């Protein structure tokens, strides 16, 4: 017999507004403790010096984490000109300086280079693994860190405000994009040095600041029914995936790991009405609740991940 998990069976997403100086791991531990949840995980690390949206999955919602990790993210950030730091943010030591301060026109002229699919070298103080070790651990130990550049996607990068020593930006980007690297590289292009002095993540896929909840509010709700009301359903992470409504007898089959066969005309019509074509991924629902992630191959619907809720 398997060992019983400690805690309660809690399933759903917390649209957490992470405070300054809290690590993503600490945030997950805190939320799991507040809900006394059996299982928890987050969808995309947020640095301790960054604030904002850190979606935290509880229970069966952890099975949908990859869908949130792969979604577009919005960042609001400030670049301070004149210094380069070894961490590319406020935490690091100054390793180079410059007296040059770029003008608004020059900054705006430099932004198109960073739109689309670009090559980017992550900061040496990052979670990238090198020979099985985290880059930041090697950097802190004083070892030489060489990280290969990789392709990232930036949909938009906009300059908001310019001050004497700083400039504010907003960026919509894909998975794996380092905002600190944008500050470092843009400053170099503009003939100066720069680092991130403030960073806030405003959106991760379907999660944004409009419906986010703070740590103070969650602690205030602890031990009340309202705490569970702050949970978002598992389906929130599947907002961009086609949904297939099931019949009751089909639910049991998928839960038992059995494939469904949609060979009749009415079944085929159901797929068409849902906008589902062959060889695609979808999520199956019953009474509006997620039942399973499924792979559709022609008339065959195979369960990929079943939700035990």
In a domain, 2, yes or no: no
Domain end position, chosen among 188, 204, 220: 204
**One domain, residues 77 and 53:** no
Question: 177 CB contacts (<8 Å, ≥6 apart)?
Answer: 73, 120, 152, 153, 154, 171
Mean pLDDT on 256-261: 90
Structurally, the chain folds into a number of domains equal to 3
pLDDT (0 to 100) of residue 281: 87
| Residue 137 a catalytic site member | no
Indicate which residue of 8, 11, 17, 47 is catalytic.
47
- β-bridge pairing 50-58 and 194-204: parallel
pLDDT of 51 higher than 60 = yes
Last residue of a domain, one of 204, 223, 251: 204
pLDDT bracket for residue 125 (50, 70, 90): low
Model confidence band, residue 148 (pLDDT cutoffs 50, 70, 90): confident
**pLDDT band per the 50, 70, 90 thresholds, residue 265:** confident
pLDDT at position 139 is 63
Q: What is the pTM of this model?
A: 0.90
Which range in 63-67, 135-139, 287-291 is most confidently predicted, on average pLDDT?
Answer: 63-67
Q: Are residues 126 and 158 in the same domain?
A: yes
Tell me the chain's radius of gyration from C-alpha atoms.
23
Q: Is 139 found in the same domain as 111?
A: yes
- Measuring CA to CA, which residue among 154, 152, 162, 84 is closest to residue 124? 84
Distance CA 74, CA 294 (A): 29
Environment class of 158 (CB within 10 Å of its CB; exposed 0-12, middle 13-18, buried 19+)? exposed
Domain that includes residue 36, residue range? 12-69+206-237
* Bigger pLDDT: 142 vs 117: 117
- Is the separation of the CB atoms in 39 and 87 below 8 Å? no
* Domain harbouring 100, CATH code: 3.30.2350.10
**Any domain includes 162:** yes
Identify the residue whose tokens are 């007898």: 249
45 and 89 fall within a common domain:
no
């Amino acid at each position: 017999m398997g060992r019983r998990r400690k805690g309660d069976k809690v399933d759903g997403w917390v649209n957490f507004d992470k405070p300054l100086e809290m690590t993503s791991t600490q945030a997950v531990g805190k939320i799991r403790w507040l809900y006394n949840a059996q299982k928890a995980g987050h969808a995309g690390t947020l640095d301790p010096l960054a604030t904002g949206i850190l979606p935290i999955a509880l229970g069966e919602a952890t099975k949908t984490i990859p869908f949130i990790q792969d979604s577009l993210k919005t960042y609001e950030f400030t670049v301070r000109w004149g210094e380069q730091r070894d961490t590319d943010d406020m935490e690091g030591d100054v390793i180079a300086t410059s007296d040059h301060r770029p003008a608004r026109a020059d900054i705006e002229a430099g932004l198109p280079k960073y739109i689309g699919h670009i090559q980017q070298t992550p900061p040496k103080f990052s979670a990238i693994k090198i020979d099985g070790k985290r880059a930041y651990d090697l950097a802190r130990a004083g070892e030489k860190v060489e990280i290969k550049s990789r392709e990232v996607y930036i949909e938009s990068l906009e300059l908001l405000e310019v001050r004497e020593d700083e400039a504010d930006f907003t960026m919509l980007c894909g998975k794996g994009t380092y905002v600190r690297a944008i500050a470092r590289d843009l400053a170099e292009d503009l003939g100066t040095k720069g680092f991130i002095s403030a960073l806030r993540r405003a959106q991760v896929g379907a999660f944004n600041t409009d419906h986010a909840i703070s740590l103070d509010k969650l602690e205030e709700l602890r031990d009340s029914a309202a705490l569970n009301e702050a949970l978002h359903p598992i389906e929130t992470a599947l907002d961009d995936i086609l949904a297939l409504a099931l019949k009751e007898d089909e639910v049991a089959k998928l839960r038992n790991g059995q494939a469904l066969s949609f060979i009749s005309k009415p079944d085929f019509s159901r797929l068409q009405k849902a906008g589902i074509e062959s060889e695609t991924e979808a999520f199956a629902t019953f009474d509006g609740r997620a039942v399973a992630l499924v792979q559709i191959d022609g008339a065959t619907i195979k369960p990929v991940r079943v939700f035990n809720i």
